[in-house]
Structure 1
Amino acid sequence: MTGVWALLGAVAVVAVIGVVLRVQNGRIRTGRVGTDLPEPVRALLDPATPVTLVQISTTFCAPCRHTRALLEDLAGRTDGLRHVELDVTDRPEVAAGLGVLRTPTTLALDASGTELLRVGGVPERDALLAALRPHLPGPIG
C-alpha cells in the first residue's frame, strides 16, 4: 500500500510542476537591472536599432523554431525592431551569465544593451507588442 501512496504523491508533484510551467510559459517579465551582457550577446546588438530581440535557443529545442518564426515575422513588420538568435548549446556560460534557465528565452535589449524585458517560452504576439510599444519609434506590426 505504501507504494501506491508514493506513486500518487509523485504524480501529484509532477502535476503541480506542469501547471506552474504552463502558467509561466510566454509570460513577459521586466528586464533584469544591472546585468553585464556576455560578449557574444553584446556583439549581436546594432546601435542603430532601438530594440533587438535576442532569442536564446538550443539545437534540440522544438519551441525555439516556433519562437523564431514568430519573432522574425514581428521584426519584419515593425520599424525599429530586430531579431537575432543565439544558440547556447555549446556555450552554457552565456546562458548562466544571462540568468537563462530554459529555452527559448527572449530578451528585449535597447541599443545600449539594457534589458527591457524577457519572455520565457514562446511569447504571445499581442502581449509582446504591447510591452514593446513604449520602446519603439514607429508603427507596430
Structure 2
Amino acid sequence: MTGVWVLLGTLAAALAAGAMLAARNGRIRTGKRPERALPAAVAEAIDPAAGVTLVQISTTFCAPCRHTRAVLSILAERTAGLHHVDLDVTQRPEVAEALGVLRTPTTLAFDPGGSELLRIGGVPKAAALLDALRPHLPTSRTFPGK
C-alpha cells in the first residue's frame, strides 16, 4: 500500500513540474540590467543599423533551438528593423554565464546601443514577441505575405 502512495505522490509531483515548465516556455520577460559589459561575441552580433537585434543563445544538440531559429529567422526576414543572430555557446559557456542564461534556447532582444530589452526562455511565440518588440522597432511594418 505504501508503494501505491509513493507512486501517486511521484506522479503528482511530475505533473506539477511539467505544468510549471510548460507555462514558463516562451514567456516574455523584461530585460536584465547588465552587471558588467556584454561579452564580445554578443556585442559584435548586435546590428547598429537594426532597431532590435534578437540574439538566440543555443547549444549544438538542442532540438528546441532549431525550432526557435526557424521562428526567429522568419520573423526577422518579414519585419523591418529586426535582425536575428544565433550564438552557439557549446564551446563558450562563459558567454551564457555572463548573460545569466541558464537554459537553451534563450532569446535576448537588444537595442542598437546594447541594452537588453527583453528575454524569452524556450521557443518564442512569434505574435507575442512581435507585439512586445513593436515599440522598439523603427517601423511597425511586417510582411506577412512572404
Which TM-score band applies after superposition, normalised by the shorter structure?
Answer: over 0.9
User: How many Å separate the matches in 2 of 1:97 and 1:51?
Assistant: 20
Map of 1:115-130 to 2, 5 A cutoff?
115-130=116-131
Map of 1:1-141 to 2, 5 A cutoff?
1-36=1-36, 37-141=38-142
User: How many Å separate the matches in 1 of 2:55 and 2:85?
Assistant: 5
Q: Deviations over 1:43-79 (max 9, x none)?
A: 1112222210000111111111111111111111111
Whichever residue aligns with residue 108 of structure 1, its letter is A
User: How many Å separate the matches in 2 of 1:35 and 1:70?
Assistant: 30
Whichever residue aligns with residue 28 of structure 1, its letter is I
SS at match of 1:131: helix
Check the 8 A contact 1:52/1:84 in 2, yes or no.
yes
Percentage of pairs with the same residue: 65
Task: Tell me the CA shift for residue 90 of structure 1.
Answer: 1.7
Task: Tell me the CA shift for residue 3 of structure 1.
Answer: 2.9
Check the 8 A contact 1:129/1:140 in 2, yes or no.
no
Whichever residue aligns with residue 124 of structure 2, its letter is P
Whichever residue aligns with residue 56 of structure 1, its letter is I
For structure 1, the residue ranges without an aligned partner over 5 or more in a row are: none
Whichever residue aligns with residue 12 of structure 1, its letter is A
Given the superposition, is the C-alpha separation of residues 80 and 35 from structure 1 closer, same or farther in structure 2, using an over 3 Å criterion?
Answer: farther
Q: Deviations over 1:90-119 (max 9, x none)?
A: 222211211111111100001111000011
Whichever residue aligns with residue 128 of structure 2, its letter is A
SS at match of 1:3: helix
Whichever residue aligns with residue 19 of structure 1, its letter is A
Post-superposition, which runs of at least 4 consecutive aligned residues in structure 1 deviate over 4 A? none
User: How many Å separate the matches in 2 of 1:101 and 1:140?
Assistant: 33
Whichever residue aligns with residue 26 of structure 1, its letter is G
